[in-house]
Amino acid sequence: MNLAQPPSDRPEPTPRAAPHRDAVTVRYQVADIARSIAFYTEHLGFRATERHESVFAAVTRGGLRLILGGPGSSGSRPMPDGRRQEPGGWNRIVLYVDDLASLIPTLRSAKVRLRNEIEVGPGGKQILIEDPDGNPIELHEATAAGGR
């Protein structure tokens, strides 16, 4: 199937501008909107930009817009086969930091869950943390040669 061309038996959708086309948007399923906003703004330097009661919110950091979908949001409804959309997994956002080692004690004292210890590789150092709902976030300190 060629994804670039719509099937000829369906009309082409009318193009419209994306409301946040200059940002990469990622959606995370969460159980508590207020708790998630607090986590991302207080611990990871995000800015709260949108909130629709306890159903939906968005936080931003640089060119990343992170949608926080609560249990009542349209983006969290079960799939037609009954599978539920749940937090967690291994796909993740990557946030670059300048000094990973100095950040870890602060996160630990705030009781942020760390999935592992700092790993070192050719591109730098990284660690996986979790938001309050178990969604993974990779904190990465790039080497000078590793770039960002």
- pLDDT band for position 148 (cuts 50, 70, 90): low
Parent domain of 41: 24-71+87-142
Per the structure, the count of domains in the chain is 1
Tell me if 76 is assigned to some domain.
no
Query: What CATH number does residue 36 fall under?
Result: 3.10.180.10
- Indicate whether 19 belongs to any domain: no
The Cα 31–Cα 69 span in angstroms is 8
Task: Examine residue 31 and state whether it is found in any structural domain, yes or no.
Answer: yes
Tokens, residue 27: 């959606």
pLDDT, tens only, 69-118: 998 888 888 888 988 888 888 889 999 999 999 999 999 999 999 999 99
- Who contacts 140 (Cβ-Cβ below 8 Å, separation ≥6)? 94, 95, 96, 97, 100, 123, 124, 125, 126
pTM: 0.76
The answer to whether position 44 is within a domain reads yes
In a domain? residue 104: yes
In angstroms, the CA 68 to CA 33 distance is: 7
**Tokens coding 35:** 């708790």
Which tokens sit at 118? 């700092």
Q: Is the residue at 97 inside a domain? A: yes
pLDDT tens, 8-53? 454 544 444 455 567 789 999 999 999 999 999 999 999 999 999 8
Is position 56 within any domain?
A: yes
**Domain-embedded: residue 123:** yes
